[in-house]
Amino acid sequence: MFKLLRQEFVFLHKPLNPRSRLLLLASAAVIATALFFPLWKMHLVAPQYAEGLDLYIYCYKIEGGGLNGQHLQEINNLNHYIGMHSLAAADFSEMRWMPFVFGLIILLILRAAVFGEMGNLVDLFAVYSYFGVFSIGSFYYRLYTYGHNLDPTAPMRIQPFTPLLIGVKKIANFTEYSFPQAGAYLLIASVALIVLAGWVSRQETPA
């Protein structure tokens, strides 16, 4: 038992070699870049919308496709028939704090790169994973709320539903395609870089 704890202690105090630190810097840069790309895209296709209606979700905003982003307005307009509330960035409180959390994570990465200990990486990984899982959960909850909190006086009454988080789904005359975008892939890459940073320093011994 003591041996195991000892091993853990040693592991957490392993220094991060220069390659690890560079990987961490790269990870921070990748996260910063990811903020400028959409994380998620919902693409809705119907007979009258063969070219599709697009909704791009960034960590700080929702944006429609089309001229002047008018697809958002169009989707809201269509949704009003089933009594769904208008999608508005102002309603997504997470969009206000998410960029700051990413900033915090970047700071934690930089901290790990400067302090250079495996323990910092573990802290970072734990916070980042928690944040990631929480975000996806909160996104799902948003979708659930929009699809279930329908105005009972709406002209068309439909069975409450949850818009698809990921995959392809048919809703009335629309086929919904919901998939992660460049921003999400970059974030996954940033996690991979953090794991890799730990991996390349796994043979180091504490001073």
Partner 1 sequence: MKAFYLTHGSGFVLPAALCLLALAGCDQKASTAKNERTTNAVASYVAPGEKDEYYLFYSGGHSGQVFVAGLPSLRHISTIPVFAPYPGTGYGFDDVSRKMLGDFTWGDVHHPALSQTDSKYDGRWLFVNDNANNRVARIDLRDFKTKQILGPLPNSSGSHGSSFITENSEYLFVATRFSTPLPKGRVADPKDYKTEFNGAITGIKIEPKSGEMGVGFQILMPPFDYDLASTGKGPSSGWVFFTSYNTEMAHELLEVNASQLDRDLCPIVNWKAAAQAVAEGKAPLLDGVPMLDPAKVPGIVYFVAIGKSPHGMDVDPSGKWIVAGGKLQPTTTVLNFAKIQAAIAQKDFEGEARGIPILKYASVVEGEVPVGLGPLHTQYDGRGNAYTSLFIDSCIVKWKLPPWTPEEQKDLTKAVLDKVSTHFSTGHLVVAGSDTKAPYGKWLVAMNKLSKGRHVVVGPAQPESSQLIDISGEKMKMVAEAYTEPEPHFAQILKVTDCAPIEVYPKDENKDPNAVWEKKDAGVVRTGTTVTAKVIAIRSRFTPDRIDAQVGDTLVVHVTNVEQTVDMIHGFGLNEHNINVTVDPGETKTFTITLKKPGVFAFYCTNFCSALHQEMQGYLVVRPVGQTAALPAANPVAAR
The binding site for partner 1 (CB under 8 A) comprises 66-68, 70, 73-74, 77, 81, 155
Q: Compare residues 29 and 46 and give the one whose CB is closer to partner 1.
A: 46
User: Which tokens hold the place of 29?
Assistant: 């840069």
CB 54 within 8 A of CB 67: no
- Residue 79: name the closest of 146, 135, 169 by CA: 146
Q: Closest separation between CB of residue 173 and partner 1, Å?
A: 10
- What number of CA atoms fall less than 13 Å from residue 115's CA on the CB side? 17
The phi and psi torsions of 177 (rounded to 5 degrees) equal -115, 120
Q: Closest separation between CB of residue 77 and partner 1, Å?
A: 6
Q: Closest separation between CB of residue 146 and partner 1, Å?
A: 20
Q: CA 46 to CA 173: how far, in whole Å?
A: 6
Q: CA 29 to CA 26: how far, in whole Å?
A: 5
Give the Cβ contact number of residue 196 at 10 Å.
Answer: 16
Q: Closest separation between CB of residue 150 and partner 1, Å?
A: 17
Q: Closest separation between CB of residue 70 and partner 1, Å?
A: 4
Give the Cβ contact number of residue 174 at 10 Å.
Answer: 19
Q: Compare residues 81 and 97 and give the one whose CB is closer to partner 1.
A: 81
User: Which tokens hold the place of 93?
Assistant: 């409180």
Q: Compare residues 68 and 205 and give the one whose CB is closer to partner 1.
A: 68
Q: Compare residues 74 and 204 and give the one whose CB is closer to partner 1.
A: 74
Q: Compare residues 77 and 129 and give the one whose CB is closer to partner 1.
A: 77
Q: CA 186 to CA 196: how far, in whole Å?
A: 15
DSSP state of 35: T
Q: Compare residues 68 and 93 and give the one whose CB is closer to partner 1.
A: 68
Q: Closest separation between CB of residue 75 and partner 1, Å?
A: 11
The owner of tokens 């994380």 is: 39
